[in-house]
Structures are given as C-alpha cells and as structure tokens.
C-alpha cells in the first residue's frame, strides 16, 4: 500500500475521504492538526496539506509528492523540497472566483464609502454627506495576472472598468486593456484609481511596494491587498494612509500575522481589515477535488501532466 497523509484546516474533510476511498492501492491517513503532522509522515509517499514546514519534510524520508491546498507556497521549505526532488503542486485556481468577488466588493465598498458608514453605525451616527462614487469608468491596476488576477479583470471589465495589469512578461490576456512589466510598475500606480495587490511573496517581491509607488498614486486612489503582506513596506503603507495619499484600503494580508493589537492600522479610519480569510470558502474542498483527483491519477499512472507544478526556483 502506498501511504498518503491528508491534513486540512478546511472543512468538511469528508469530501477528501470520499475522493480517496476509490483508490484501493492507497493507505490514507488523516491528521487533524498541523502541529501533529510530522508524527504521521514516517511512511508517507504523498502529502495533501495546507501547511508544510521543514520538520514535516525531514520526518518523511519516502515523500515524493506534496499537493498544497493553497496557492502561495512561500511558507513551504522550498529548498529542502528541491534538494529531495519532491514534486510540489499548489492550489492555484481554487480561489479564482471567491477572491475575485472579494476584490470587487472591496472596490465598491471604498467607492461608496461604506467603510465610513460601518464605523458610523457603531457610533449610532446618521451622516449622509459621504461622497457616493462608482467603479464603472475607473481604472483598476492589478499587480499579478494569475488565475485570480485574470478573473478579477473579467469581473472588473463587466462592471465597466478599464483594466491594466502587471506581469513578469507581456502577453495578451482577455479583458486586460494594457499590461506592464515589473520595470514599468510605476505606470500602473500612476494611472490606477484602484490598485489590487495579488503579488506572490518571493525574495524579489519583498517590500517591493513602497513609498516610491504610493507617492505616485492619484489623489483619491485606493488600495487592496489580498496577495501577501510581505510584498509591502508596512511603514510606508501606514504613512501613506495617515496622510491620505491612499484614500482608503481594504487589506486581508499583513507583514506579520496575526496583526499585532498595537499596529496603527487598527486605528485608521480609512482602513478595512479582514483576518486573512479572502481565500477561505465554504466550497473550498469541492473546488480542490478535481485538481487533486487529476494530479493523483497522473502521479499513480505516470500518464499525463500534473497541474499547477510549482517552479521551486521562482517560488510559485
């Protein structure tokens, strides 16, 4: 029997139990908590998980393939995985719909100043003089045009927005009006009414978004971060929000998580904070099932091509 270990904080895991039950050649073990994962890895050949650290890999001398249930694998021990020639596939595409919906909600929230009304409600304050804008006709700049970025572009275009985006290499992408490279990122900040940060975290993107770019933003421009908090210089971000260089921000990710109670972001009236839940979804494992089934079939038969293979040098 070939052992596969499954560890997911997402429920219901019964979806994965049903999926794996049809493979008689597998011995399937479910781990309830990530902190105990290393204890299950001794004989494991395959791992399906939302978390993986060096201890997990070290504890698994027979490990050949990891299927990550998340898209961003910057917290995974990529060097160890590469040195061991372990295959790593990620969850790219699982989040496409629900994260794009969050982004559209965030832009509408800031266009209509709903973040102000939410605070006013807590104070039982009836104030009608907040400007009521719209996202139609506005320019959205999407930093990162992967699956989520492309879905966001489609939804934004349907809402009447002009879509520009940032990509390592230029290419024609449906519903994106203009594409800029990393060397041209300043142009995206200059021209956008809404900046959407979907950048992965790598050594090259560490604090890549900083004062230089915030200073280029249009008066009244807004910022959304659902990529990785470490792609942003948080001190520069806080200063830009305090001075209203950024009119408003919705952020789901932060440089350190959980966000410290003493962090000034909690107190700023132009900030909406969500606790890294943008990628969560009640149908998450349903969406993941097809990807896992496909990759498992390819791995077990040696026929076909796995989806979402991670470039371990690039980090995504």
Which residues are identified as catalytic? 228, 257, 276
Per-residue tokens: 58: 């070290």
Structure tokens at 159: 């809402």
With b for 16 or more beta-carbon neighbours within 10 A and e for fewer, the 60-70 pattern comes to beebebbbbbb
According to DSSP, residue 177 is labeled: S
DSSP-assigned beta bridge partners for residue 139: 162
Which pairs with CB-CB distance under 8 Å and at least 24 residues apart come from 29-36? 29/3, 29/4, 29/5, 30/5, 30/6, 31/5, 31/6, 31/7, 32/7, 33/7, 34/7, 34/9
Helix 147-158 to helix 96-111 angle, to the nearest 10 degrees?
50
Cβ atoms of 220 and 270 within 8 Å: the answer is: no
For residues 17-46, one letter each, b for 16 or more C-beta atoms within 10 angstroms of the residue's C-beta and e for the rest, the string is eebbeeeeebebeebeebeebbebbeebbb
The span from the CA of 40 to the CA of 5, in Å, is: 7
Closest CA to 36 of 64, 16, 6: 6
Q: Rounded distance, CA 158 to CA 178, Å? A: 16
Q: Which residues pair with 27 in a beta bridge?
A: 3
Which region holds residue 190: left if phi is over 0, alpha if psi is between -120 and 50, else beta?
Answer: alpha
Of residues 134, 137, 142, the one with CA closest to residue 160: 137
**Per DSSP, which regions of 80-188 are E strands?**
87-89, 139-143, 162-166, 178-180
């Amino acid at each position: 029997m070939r052992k596969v270990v499954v560890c997911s904080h997402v429920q219901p895991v019964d979806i994965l139990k049903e999926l794996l039950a049809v493979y008689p050649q597998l011995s399937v073990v479910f781990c309830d908590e990530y902190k105990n994962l290393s204890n299950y890895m001794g004989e494991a050949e395959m791992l399906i998980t939302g978390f993986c650290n060096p201890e997990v890999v070290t504890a698994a001398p027979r490990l050949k393939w990891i299927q990550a249930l998340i898209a961003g694998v910057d917290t995974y021990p990529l060097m160890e995985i590469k040195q061991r020639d372990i295959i790593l596939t990620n969850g790219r595409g699982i989040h496409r719909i629900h994260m794009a919906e969050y982004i559209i909600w965030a832009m509408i929230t800031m266009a209509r100043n709903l973040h102000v009304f939410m605070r006013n409600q807590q104070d039982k304050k009836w104030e009608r003089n907040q400007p009521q804008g719209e996202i139609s006709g506005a320019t959205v700049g999407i930093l990162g045009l992967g699956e989520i970025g492309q879905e966001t572009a489609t939804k934004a275009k349907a809402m009447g927005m002009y879509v520009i985006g940032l990509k390592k290499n230029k290419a024609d992408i449906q519903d994106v009006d203009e594409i800029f490279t990393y060397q041209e990122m300043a142009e995206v900040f200059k021209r956008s009414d809404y900046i959407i940060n979907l950048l992965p975290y790598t050594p090259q993107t560490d604090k890549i978004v900083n004062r230089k770019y915030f200073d280029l933003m249009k008066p009244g421009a807004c910022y959304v971060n659902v990529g990785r908090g470490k792609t942003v210089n948080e001190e520069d971000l806080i200063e830009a929000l305090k001075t209203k260089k950024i009119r408003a921000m919705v952020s789901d990710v932060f440089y350190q998580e959980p966000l410290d109670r003493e962090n000034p972001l909690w107190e700023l009236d132009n900030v909406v904070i969500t606790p890294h839940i943008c990628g969560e979804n009640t149908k998450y494992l349903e969406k993941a099932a097809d990807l896992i089934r496909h990759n498992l079939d390819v791995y077990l038969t040696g026929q076909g091509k796995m989806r979402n293979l991670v470039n371990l040098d690039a980090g995504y």
